[in-house]
Amino acid sequence: MFPERFSNLPAYAFPRLRALLDAHAPGGDVVHMTIGEPRHAFPSWLTDEITAHADGFGQYPVNEGSPALLEAAADWVQRRYGVSLDPATRLMALNGTREGLYNAMMALCPERKRGERPVVLVPNPFYQVYMVAALSVGAEPVFLDATEATGYLPDLSAVSGEMLDRVAVVYLCSPSNPQGAVASRAYWAELIALAEKHDFRIFADECYSEIYRDDPPPGVLEVAAEVGADPERIVAFHSLSKQSNVPGLRSGFVAAGPESIKALKQLRNYAGSPLPMPLQHAAARLWADEAHVEENRRLYAAKYACADEIMDGVPGYRAPEAGFFLWLPVADGEEAALRLWRETGVRVLPGAFLAQERGGVNPGAGFIRVAMVAPEEEMARGLTRLRDCLYG
């Protein structure tokens, strides 16, 4: 007695990785470059903030986020994108964006779209929750390859009008995991225009928005405001996990139109698991402070430079525009990850584990994903071994 809708799900990327590598001994001291778990320090004052509000552990937390937290998030949106959102009606707190990306589908995807099973467009490769969210509501996930040929973002112009009419939701990740590609203003504007024309919502996963090289990536909220889009079409997700180095705090927010936020809050009232109050206080302080985010960006800038130097001359090396992953071309990602582990002890993720096969082709199969999260010296050591092993 198990549901059929999940019967074809592949094993999640990390158990698959363990199955691939763990039967073999590492060929050197282990360097982890698999998981996107930030390892720079979070601000030291964060612990004091949590302790100062520890009495809040004695209360049920505010489901949708305390007014102070929502105000801090709205102020951040204003500073970052120049867009003014009413914190009470346009924002809701999340326990990290993963649950938000999932639950938004539950709350907002209709059962039928123009009389048919709805379609959810998913970039390929992609953050895996998108697919499971679509399957959970009985929608059909349709995967759009995001490869070199398409500028590492899905090519929207390749989707037929007939298909777009069936679309209820498009997930778009920018800066993207794993490729580090950034959607331009023009790209967002085109997507928004399609959403208006074909009546669908955009779920914009922007949790890497603050990890970039030079220019801040444009956000869906600012482009939507510029083009005067219907706010109900745009559902934007932001997280503290990457920008503040607190993946364990589990804190983010969703910004959307008032009716969409109402629906999200309604579902959260029934089934949500809100962030404990002391953590909501801490999150509010993080959204209000740019200094630590700038310092974090400085550390990543040094890593981008380090990677560019080590990988200089490696055929097919592409410096990511943003985010903290390298998406490196290899002949076969699984074979490369296994060889690298056995010969050097460096652990990376085969790209195929982050993508779906379509027409017999997995667009991630010829790649490995390398997370640049370790301290710079450790990252440089891992990357040098990787270059010498796979491209030497």
The answer to whether residues 310 and 387 touch, using CB atoms and an 8 Å cutoff, is yes
The residues in 198-227 that bind ligand PLP, with binding defined as CB under 6 A, are 205, 207
Nearer Cβ to ligand PLP (37/196): 37
242 touches 324 (CB < 8 A): yes
Q: CB-wise, 98 or 233, nearer to ligand PLP?
A: 98
User: Which 173-192 residues touch ligand PLP, going by CB under 6 A?
Assistant: 173, 177
- Fill in the per-residue mask, 157 to 176: x = in contact with ligand PLP (CB under 6 A), - = not in contact: ----------------x---
Q: Which residue is nearest to ligand PLP (CB)?
A: 96
Instruction: Tell me the one-letter amino acid at 261.
Output: I
Cα separations (Å) of 246 from 2, 41, 73, 121, 293? 35, 9, 16, 29, 12
How far is Cα 324 from Cα 376, in angstroms, rounded to an integer?
Answer: 12
Of the two residues 363 and 389, which places its CB atom closer to ligand PLP in the complex? 363
Task: Provide CB contacts within 8 A for 59, sequence distance 6+.
Answer: 277
Query: Residue 274: how many CB atoms within 10 A of its CB?
Result: 19
* CB of residue 339 to ligand PLP, shortest distance in Å: 26
**Can you read off the two tokens belonging to residue 119?**
């379609």
> According to the binding rule CB under 6 A, does residue 103 interact with ligand PLP?
no
The yes or no reply on residue 300 touching ligand PLP (CB under 6 A) is no
Task: Write down the residue that tokens 């209360």 correspond to.
Answer: 59
Q: Between residues 166 and 363, which has the closer beta carbon with respect to ligand PLP?
A: 363
- Is residue 241 a contact point for ligand PLP (CB under 6 A)? yes
Give the pairing type, strands 346-347 and 349-350.
unpaired
Residue 207 or 307: the one with the smaller Cβ distance to ligand PLP is: 207
Residue 377 and residue 212: Cα distance in Å, rounded? 20
Q: Does 247 bind ligand PLP (CB under 6 A)?
A: yes
Interaction between residue 125 and ligand PLP (CB under 6 A): no
Nearest residue to 178 via CA among 321, 8, 303, 358: 321
Short-list 25, 55, 44, CA closest to 285:
44
H/E element, 261: helix 258-271
36 lines the binding site for ligand PLP (CB under 6 A): yes
Considering beta carbons, is residue 82 or 248 the nearer one to ligand PLP?
248
**DSSP letters for 341-372:** HHHH-EE-EEGGGGS--BTTB-TTTTEEEEE-
For ligand PLP, the binding residue among 239, 244, 296, 356 (CB under 6 A) is 239
- 373 counts as binding ligand PLP under rule CB under 6 A: no
Binding residues among 71-100 for ligand PLP as defined by CB under 6 A: 96-98
Q: In the complex, what is the shortest distance from the CB of residue 105 to ligand PLP, in angstroms, rounded to a whole number?
A: 14
SS3 193: helix
How many chain residues are in contact with ligand PLP, going by CB under 6 A? 13
Question: Based on CB atoms, which residue is closest to ligand PLP, 206 or 334?
Answer: 206
Site mask, ligand PLP, residues 248-277, x = CB under 6 A?
A: ----x-------------------------
Say how far apart CA 132 and CA 109 lie, in whole Å.
13
Is the Cβ–Cβ distance between 99 and 241 less than 8 Å?
no
User: Nearer Cβ to ligand PLP, position 193 or 271?
Assistant: 271
CB closer to ligand PLP out of 16 and 342: 16
CA-wise closest residue to 364 among 232, 176, 90: 176
Cα–Cα distance, 302 to 217 (Å, whole number): 19
In the bound state with ligand PLP, the residue whose beta carbon lies nearer, of 127 and 212, is 127
Interface ranges with ligand PLP (CB under 6 A): 36, 96-98, 127, 173, 177, 205, 207, 239, 241, 247, 252
